Structure 1
Amino acid sequence: MVHVRHRRTAAWAAAAVLILVPAAGCSDDGGGGSTPSPTPSATAPTTPATSAPAADGPADPAAAKQQIEANWTTFFDPEASTEDKVKVLENGNLLRPLLAAFGGDENAAQSSAKVTDVQFTSPTEATVTYDLLVGGTPALPGAKGTSVLQDDTWKVSVKTLCALVKLSGNAAAPGC
């Protein structure tokens, strides 16, 4: 029973940010990501202009995996600023008010994530396996999510957060 309670607490903590978002903020166009813009992000690794992504993954999978791991850690870090979370969430600018509200959530202050595997499914999307932790203890071990390349940065997808909202028992969350 305690394990189920921790699982729901972890899912709710991670998903609490979506409860307040307008429907447009969480919508997913089905593409899973967007075409990278020509302007590199401050957190994105730089690559030569001549490198082309592989058909089934990015041009530099090791650098992309490292960025995914760092960005997921940042996104689920209760100590990270709203601004830092905006930078690593797909469509983060649209969700800024929601992320700011998330900063004060008691359950979120106990939650974090540890990426355990990254598998690229295209040059702009990856399946991420991670453990959602509550107080450092795995509450959702081996959870699956996606990361998308947006604005030259590998970001936590909105689909991932909406899946956590559904898991928390709040299937009626706006936009999910």
Structure 2
Amino acid sequence: MDVERRGGRSRLAVLGAVAVLALAPALASCSDDDGGTSGGTVSSSPPTATTAEPPTADAPGDPVAAKAEITRNWAAFFDAKTPVAEKVKLLENGEQLRPVLAAFAADKNAAMTTAKVTGVEFTSATDANVTYDLLVGGAPALSGSQGTSILQNDTWKVSVKTLCGLVELSGVTVPGC
């Protein structure tokens, strides 16, 4: 793997990606029953500077509460202490990716990985762009990553596109992605 050094940050990013994606062999052995489609991508480039934006018609009725729920749910989703059954509820169409979530739960490297939401921008009443830092052992590994959250069944969830983007960093195809 060719990794360009940028003040040590690239090494942390690689270590973070390895920790999150250490399950590549287990994930590759899963079968794809529905011919899954490719999800989105995850960017590790820094977010552009923004200022607080007033609520618009393209935001939920209570954007402050929605942002708090997104932040709380992302932290829980990426927390190793959160049971798989709960993570399924925090992931868009989570039941489809239950085997992947179970594999992550069993991996010691993934257990060291957490996420901290640093920004939320609503694109509609049911969709939001989320900027987050992926942390390994509390240290930033992929800072300023971009993901999405969707409102599904009255719960703001981590999008499948975001999870699949992280998994795809390993070059592995996962059922449901």
| TM-score, scaled to structure 2 | 0.75
After TM superposition, the structure 1 = structure 2 runs for residues 59-98 of structure 1, keeping only pairs within 5 Å, are 59-98=61-100
One-letter code aligned to 1:22? D
Which 4+ stretches in 1 moved above 6 angstroms? none
Aligned residues of 2:97 and 2:176 also touching (Cα < 8 A): no
Correspondence for 1:170: 171
Q: Which residue of 2 aligns with 1:8?
A: 14
Unaligned runs of 5+ in 2: 41-54
CA distance in 2, matches of 1:141, 1:21: 32
Measured after TM superposition, the shift of residue 29 of structure 1 is 8.9
User: What one-letter code is carried by the residue in structure 1 that aligns with 2:171?
Assistant: N
1:103 corresponds in structure 2 to 105
Deviation digits for residues 56-114 of structure 1 (CA, Å, limit 9, x no counterpart): 01000011000000000001001111011111000012222221221111210110000
Q: 2-side partners of 1:96 and 1:7: how far apart?
A: 26
CA RMSD, 1 decimal: 2.8
Counterparts in 2 of 1:10-159, with a 5 A limit?
Answer: 10-15=16-21, 16=23, 19=27, 20=30, 22=32, 24=34, 27=37, 55-159=57-161
Amino acid at match of 2:133: D
Q: Does the Cα contact within 8 Å between 1:132 and 1:138 map onto a contact in 2?
A: yes
When normalised by structure 1's length, the TM-score is 0.75
Corresponding position of 1:36: none
- Residue 8 of structure 1: CA displacement? 2.8
Deviates more, 1:120-129 or 1:158-167: 158-167
| Long gaps (5+) in structure 1 | 31-52
Superposed CA offset, 1:29-53 (max 9, x none):
99xxxxxxxxxxxxxxxxxxxxxx9
Residue 174 of structure 1: how far off its partner (Å):
3.9
CA distance in 2, matches of 1:74, 1:163: 19
